[in-house]
Copies of this chain bind each other. A is one copy, B any other.
Amino acid sequence: MSFRGFTRRRLLGAAGAGTALIGAGAAGGYLAASSESEAPGPAEAVVPFRGVRQAGIVTPAQDRLHFVALDVTATGPIVRAAVVALLKRWTTAAERMTAGAEAAPGGAVNRNPAAPPTDTGEALGLPAASLTLTFGIGGTLLDKLGIPRPPGLADLPPFQRDQIDPALSGGDLCIQACADDPQVAVHAVRNLVRMGFGTTAVRWSQLGFGRTSSTSTTQQTHRNLFGFKDGTNNLKAEDAAGLDEHVWVPASEGPAWLAGGTYLVARRIRMHVETWDRTSLTEQESLTGRLKGSGAPIGATDEFTPVDLAAPGPDGTPAIAEDAHIRLASASNLGGVKILRRGYNFVDGSDGAGHLNAGLFFVAFMRDPQRQFVPMQSALARRDRLMEYIEHTGSAVFACPPGLADGAYWGQSLLEG
């Protein structure tokens, strides 16, 4: 059975159809949507919820993000049971919403006069818009449940120049909602948050737009708020060997509940765009290591020309400076380390000092944050001159279990393992 074309728009006209969805999980590989992406028009596209991996990791990056971190507020001996019950309800609702249905049967126009609607309604009539919901577990939740943290969930060390705000960091659980319509992503997060009352509360939440890292060779590279193409050399969905090496946690390495899963590192990076905008083009390109127009490495003309870190410039020194961002972040500078980025631009109003509160919400998936993100960010924080223009203001790490088989629920491998 395919979920394609099954939308809230039709639901509204055909009451009862919603029940046909429940338990109809399955659906093929997690990349099915991308291989057919030309066909049904993006608004109607549905990304399968179940599969070997969670959707929303290598799914071709949708254009809008709503990311939420939650804390478990339930306490005492009932915590585990409360969390399990919530994760079961969340899974059912998430599967429905990614298929374009309402959060629960009955939905926004439930006729039980004594009961609140089981869906909040703001996505009524909207198609699935390629919604994916990706679930992660924070180290603090394991602490609360008395389960040992895998090494990958160790707290990140402080990095030079960090300006981390605890109110924008951490969390017991996270849900990443990506879609091509922000109202669809917001609706999904809001309904899951609503279902968590009494068990969870929102810790922080971030909206994003204009995905900056393509995750598929079928996608063009978008630009960050420094005006540069961002993510040209990102790992891609089509590179199965690269994903196995850098993204998926092998059974030999992680706890059993995380085998085939991955870690998510989120960093809220405020960009001082006003300062950047007063910098010359040459300086911007020198700091970055790429040309602003084409995205090509300095010295080349095509965005996808492999980066040659040794190539000399006109004056004989390397064309790509010793402290250029793409050199410091390159696999060759980091002993082969790569990560799968999936970031979004943001503008969160203004900062009260006459500037836009803008930046990049960095999301990356990797096999081991301690061996990948930590050395990468250490190198950048120490030497990257781009750091003069940015500030890391939020930070979090979550473990994302593998995808769900039919009937399984989010976190089941952890909680029943």
Q: Are B182 and A209 in contact (CB under 8 A)?
A: yes
- Other-chain contact of A227, B117, B222, B277, B350 (Cβ < 8 Å): B117
Q: Are A348 and B347 in contact (CB under 8 A)?
A: no
Residues on B with beta carbons closer than 8 Å to the beta carbon of A354 = 71, 73, 201-203
* Max chain B C-beta neighbours (<10 A), residue from A125, A193, A280, A347: A347
Q: Are B356 and A122 in contact (CB under 8 A)?
A: no
Q: Are A186 and B124 in contact (CB under 8 A)?
A: no
A77 within 8 A of B: no
A206 within 8 A of B: yes
A146 within 8 A of B: no
Bound together, the chains give a CA A202 to CA B354 distance in angstroms of: 4
- How near does chain B come to A230, taking the closest CB pair, in angstroms? 10
A113 within 8 A of B: yes
Bound together, the chains give a CA A125 to CA B345 distance in angstroms of: 16
Tell which of A104-112, A148-156, A377-385 binds the partner: A104-112
Q: Are B121 and A190 in contact (CB under 8 A)?
A: no
Q: List 29 A-B contacts (CB under 8 A).
A: A12-B293, A64-B209, A71-B354, A108-B227, A108-B293, A109-B281, A112-B280, A113-B282, A116-B278, A116-B279, A117-B277, A117-B292, A120-B273, A120-B276, A121-B226, A122-B223, A122-B224, A122-B225, A122-B345, A124-B223, A124-B292, A124-B293, A125-B223, A183-B223, A193-B356, A194-B273, A202-B354, A206-B349, A348-B349
A255 within 8 A of B: no
Bound together, the chains give a CA A224 to CA B186 distance in angstroms of: 12
A157 within 8 A of B: no
Q: Apart from A186-B347, A190-B356, what 18 extra A-B contacts exist at CB < 8 Å?
A: A66-B347, A113-B281, A114-B280, A116-B279, A116-B281, A119-B227, A120-B225, A120-B226, A120-B277, A121-B292, A122-B210, A122-B224, A122-B226, A182-B209, A183-B209, A183-B210, A190-B358, A202-B355
- How near does chain B come to A290, taking the closest CB pair, in angstroms? 12
Residue of B nearest to A355 (CB): B202
A253 within 8 A of B: no
Q: Are B277 and A116 in contact (CB under 8 A)?
A: yes
Interface residue tally of chain A, by bracket? 35 or more
Bound together, the chains give a CA A223 to CA B348 distance in angstroms of: 22
Residues on B with beta carbons closer than 8 Å to the beta carbon of A222 = 183
Q: Are A273 and B352 in contact (CB under 8 A)?
A: no
Residues on B with beta carbons closer than 8 Å to the beta carbon of A204 = 349-350
A197 within 8 A of B: yes
Residue of B nearest to A115 (CB): B280
- How near does chain B come to A66, taking the closest CB pair, in angstroms? 7
Residues on B with beta carbons closer than 8 Å to the beta carbon of A181 = 210
A274 within 8 A of B: yes
A207 within 8 A of B: yes
Q: Are A347 and B210 in contact (CB under 8 A)?
A: no
- How near does chain B come to A148, taking the closest CB pair, in angstroms? 28
- Other-chain contact of A203, B108, B109, B201, B350 (Cβ < 8 Å): B350
Residues on B with beta carbons closer than 8 Å to the beta carbon of A124 = 223, 227, 292-293
- How near does chain B come to A138, taking the closest CB pair, in angstroms? 16
Bound together, the chains give a CA A208 to CA B165 distance in angstroms of: 25
- Other-chain contact of A109, B71, B114, B293, B357 (Cβ < 8 Å): B293
